[in-house]
Amino acid sequence: MGIGRIVNALLNRVNPRVVQRAMQTVTSIPIVKGQIDKESEKMMAELAQSLKPYREGFASFTRLPAAGIDRQAIIDEMEKLRAAEEAKWKDGFVSGAVYNGDEEHIEFLNRVYAINSQSNPLHADVWPSTTKFEAEIVAMTAHMLGGDAQICGTVSSGGTESILLAIKTYRDWARDQKDIAAPEMIVPTTAHAAFDKAAQYFNIKMIRVPVDASMRADVAATTRAVTRNTIVIVGSAPSFPHGVVDPIQELSELARQRGIGFHTDACLGGFILPWAKKLGYPVPPFDFQLPGVTSISADTLKYGYAAKGSSVILYRGEELRHYQYYTTTDWLGGLYLSPTFAGSRPGALSAACWAAMVSIGEQGYTDAARKILETAARIKKEIGQIPELRLVGDSLFVVAFASDTLDIYAVLDQMGKRHWSLNGLQSPPAVHLCLTLRHAQPGIAEKFIADLNASVEYVRAHPQERGDMSAVYGMTASVPLRGVVSDFLKRYIDLLYETSGNISPQSR
């Protein structure tokens, strides 16, 4: 059972008058809390059914086995788990997530990982090969993104870490260079949640600027939002929700003129937009060719086709990069330094990332981009033929769609029933499919369109059936109820960490 269905059911079980009261005033939430807690216990138990399918038929450990388990038995069990799960992503039913997924590519990365499995770049003297790989990953990415010799950076563990690192860097730079004690950052509403996370973690005021009808950041609103405490302006290339590239040229120029940092979040687009441009697709400028761009995040784990756990954060100049580093000289454990948040790091992931990049090369990335972009164009064209749907934003490889007549979340639910794992979006309500090489396989685009037509048809014929996700997004539209949803999401994470041995009695 999906989380949307759970919350929908939760809402249906809770007395509607109680829910209404919660909506009226934040202070009334404690009154409903008891009832919501009780119902959500029951809901959690239902949710556990789908999230914890291995409670039976598989060994479960809540303490170390007294004697170690036979290795082959462990491998056999893992193979069973893989077999149960891989069809969904292999057959292209998932938005984003696995960007390459080709058997031979996976085998190759696995071999590279195995060769390097013991390496840790924290010990640069023991594994200079790993630092060579990391330096070259950064150099190749900088070159791809219009960088010259002054562009430098580091490898990180993923898009979120690259973004967190960049924001921490600007905070420390602004404190040191500009004496800014109460930092602010300006971020379009479409930028990734990682920026909000950074603002929370690093105590920075985040000013959200609206986007225009094309879902691009509003330059005039950004200009008005600048204060003497602004440390960085952010733009996406492209944004996660709708796949559109912000007006990076104008925004970065504004930042340059005011002496503010500008971060391009190219986590999603960094490894596909350069090749899209080469293929002749319209790609607005977004990289270091623009003098105002002072940092870029680009994810090797996405269209770089590396394994999960690697990304690149780039800076214009070493001076800025120094604000990212951590060093200490008075620790009892000796002199200590680390470029990113982690201490010890998996050098094997950097080795696999390097191997992916050099084995694919410019030609391979261009060919992959062509396949993905052509498939996306076909899907967009077909969605244009469905009268109830309209595309949101003009994107090259993220297909976002909404409806003026149907509950789009009901369409999302129907797609879920047909095994599709798509993303629900809000403000405005929409759904997206982020295309990868999985979707460029023969027949996948056709299956997607056939299932989408069937889903739209179903929702049109059953207008009274409320989509599971409608309830969730209905709640998040009301400020007091956002707290209820947020609590529920925390309990969802708790559930993920439950084992058969520590399931709370209520949710059993």
Per-residue binder mask for ligand PLP (CB under 6 A), 192-211, x = binder: x-x-----------------
Least distance in angstroms from the C-beta of 6 to ligand PLP: 23
If the CB atoms of residues 2 and 159 are measured against ligand PLP, the closer one turns out to be: 159
Contacts of 188 (CB under 8 A, 6+ apart): 208, 209, 210, 211, 216, 217, 218, 222, 234, 235, 236, 239, 246
Q: Which is nearer to ligand PLP, 271 or 275 (CB)?
A: 271
By CB under 6 A, the residues from 151 to 190 that bind ligand PLP are: 158-160
Tokens of 132: 């060579």
Size of the site for ligand PLP (CB under 6 A): 13
DSSP conformation class of 188: E
| Binding string, residues 300-329; x marks residues near ligand PLP by CB under 6 A | -x----------------------------
> C-beta of 214: minimal distance to ligand PLP in Å?
17
Angle between helices 3-13 and 468-476 (to 10 degrees): 70
Nearer to ligand PLP, 230 or 236 (CB): 236
- Binding characters for ligand PLP, 268-287, by CB under 6 A (x = yes): x-------------------
Name the one range near ligand PLP by CB under 6 A: 47-55, 138-146, 199-207, 264-272: 264-272
CB of 236 or CB of 324, closer to ligand PLP = 236
* CB of 268 closer than 8 Å to CB of 296: no
Q: What residues pair up with 391 in beta bridges, in sequence order?
A: 401
Please report, for residues 120, 302, 429, the alpha-carbon distance to residue 129 in angstroms, rounded to integers and kept in the order given: 10, 24, 48
**Smallest distance, ligand PLP to C-beta of residue 71, A:** 32
Q: What are the structure tokens assigned to 134, written together?
A: 């990391």
Residue sitting closest to ligand PLP (CB): 159
Decide whether 10 or 356 has the Cβ nearer to ligand PLP: 356
Residue 262 CA from chain centroid, whole number? 20
Give the nearest distance from C-beta 440 to ligand PLP in angstroms. Answer: 19
Which of 40/324 has CB closer to ligand PLP? Answer: 324
Q: How far apart are CA 95 and CA 153, in angstroms?
A: 29
Distance CA 413, CA 405 (A): 16
Which C-beta is closer to ligand PLP: that of 170 or that of 240?
A: 240
DSSP state of 438: G
Q: Is 11 or 398 the residue whose CB approaches ligand PLP more closely?
A: 398
Q: What minimum distance in Å lies between the beta carbon of 86 and ligand PLP? A: 20
Q: Which is nearer to ligand PLP, 222 or 239 (CB)?
A: 239
Find, among 241, 240, 193, 187, the residue nearest to 210 by Cα. Answer: 187
Whole-angstrom distance, CA of residue 21 vs CA of residue 499: 36
- The SS3 assignment for 378 reads helix
CA distance 141 to 248: 19
Backbone angles phi, psi at 392, to 5 degrees: -110, 120
On whether the CB atoms of residues 254 and 220 are closer than 8 A, the answer is: no
Q: Which region among 78-86, 260-268, 327-335, 420-428 touches ligand PLP (by CB under 6 A)?
A: 260-268
In the complex, the smallest distance separating the C-beta of residue 302 from ligand PLP, rounded to whole angstroms, is 7
Q: How far is the CB of 279 from ligand PLP (least distance, A)?
A: 21
Stretch touching ligand PLP by CB under 6 A, among 121-129, 234-242, 336-344, 351-359: 234-242
Beta carbon nearer to ligand PLP, 99 or 315? 99
AA identity, residue 441: Q
Pick one of 93, 133, 240, 323: the residue that binds ligand PLP (CB under 6 A).
240
Nearer to ligand PLP, 160 or 403 (CB): 160
Determine if 265 is a binding residue for ligand PLP (CB under 6 A): yes
From the list 53-61, 265-273, 320-328, 440-448, the region that binds ligand PLP by CB under 6 A is 265-273
Q: Is 11 in the site for ligand PLP (CB under 6 A)?
A: no
Q: Which of 169, 236, 375, 403 binds ligand PLP (CB under 6 A)?
A: 236
CA–CA dist 495, 324 (Å, integer): 34
Which residue shows structure tokens 């450990």?
61
Query: How do 295-298 and 261-266 pair as beta strands?
Result: parallel
Cα(373)–Cα(311) distance, integer angstroms: 22
**Is there a contact between 392 and 380 (Cβ–Cβ < 8 Å)?**
no
Specify the DSSP element, H or E, that contains 361. Answer: helix 347-384
Euclidean distance between CA atoms 399 and 33, whole angstroms: 38
* Helical axes 128-144 vs 347-384, angle rounded to 10°: 30
Stretch binding ligand PLP (CB under 6 A), from 55-63, 113-121, 220-228, 261-269? 261-269
Query: Between residue 85 and residue 144, which ones bind ligand PLP under the rule CB under 6 A?
Result: none
Minimum distance, C-beta of residue 192 to ligand PLP, in the bound complex (Å): 4
- Give the type of residue at 7: V
Q: Which residues bind ligand PLP (CB under 6 A)?
A: 158-160, 192, 194, 236, 239-240, 265, 267-268, 299, 301
